[in-house]
Amino acid sequence: MSKNSQFNENTIIQACEAAYTIKTPNLSVLAYKFNISYSTLRRRVQR
Helix %, strand %, coil % of the chain (to 5): 75, 0, 25
pLDDT in tens, 1-47: 556 666 689 999 999 999 999 999 999 999 999 999 999 999 999 86
Please give the Cα distance from 20 to 5 (Å, whole number): 23
Instruction: Note the pLDDT of residue 3.
Output: 61
Instruction: Note the pLDDT of residue 16.
Output: 96
Indicate the pTM of the whole model.
0.81
Instruction: Note the pLDDT of residue 9.
Output: 93
Instruction: Note the pLDDT of residue 36.
Output: 94
Q: Which residues contact 3 (CB under 8 A, 6 or more apart)?
A: none
Q: Which residues contact 14 (CB under 8 A, 6 or more apart)?
A: 34
The residue type at 7: F
